[in-house]
């Protein structure tokens, strides 16, 4: 995975500098990953920036499945 370019925001934290195109592409990658996981009844339970990795091909991947769980039965989110 590659290291992202970061800027100090003056509060001791870094912010990732992304174009709108990159942000949209990364968001789609993450959403597709979640759709795949959920279609296999897997819930991540610890999705956060530190658990998103960017490959050399500029694709976002979800990682760190230490807290994830496999559900036994599909659960409806509807009323």
Task: List pLDDT tens digits, range 64-74.
Answer: 999 999 999 77
How high is the pLDDT of residue 3?
A: 46
Q: Distance between CA atoms of 7 and 9, rounded to whole angstroms?
A: 6
Look up 46 and say whether it is catalytic.
Answer: yes
How high is the pLDDT of residue 18?
A: 84
Could you give the dihedral angle defined by the CA atoms of residues 73, 47, 59 and 10, in that order, rounded to the nearest 10 degrees?
Answer: 170
- Per-residue pLDDT of 46-68, as tens digits, reads 999 999 999 999 999 999 999 99
Q: How many C-beta neighbours within 10 Å does residue 62 have?
A: 19
**Largest interatomic CA distance in the chain:** 47
What is the set of domains in the chain, with CATH numbers? 6-70 (1.10.510.10)
Catalytic residue among 8, 46, 64, 73: 46
Percent with pLDDT over 70 in the chain:
73
| 3-state DSSP assignment of residue 54 | strand
Average pLDDT over residues 31-44: 96
Q: How many C-beta neighbours within 10 Å does residue 49 have?
A: 7
Quick check: pTM over 0.85? no
């Amino acid at each position: 995975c590659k290291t992202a370019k970061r800027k100090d925001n003056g509060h001791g934290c870094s912010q990732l500098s992304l174009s709108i195109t990159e942000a949209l592409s990364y968001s789609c990658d993450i959403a597709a990953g979640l759709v795949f996981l959920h279609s296999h009844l897997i819930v991540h339970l610890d999705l956060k920036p530190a658990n998103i990795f960017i490959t050399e091909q500029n694709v976002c991947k979800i990682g760190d499945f230490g807290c994830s769980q496999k559900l036994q039965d599909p659960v409806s989110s509807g009323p």
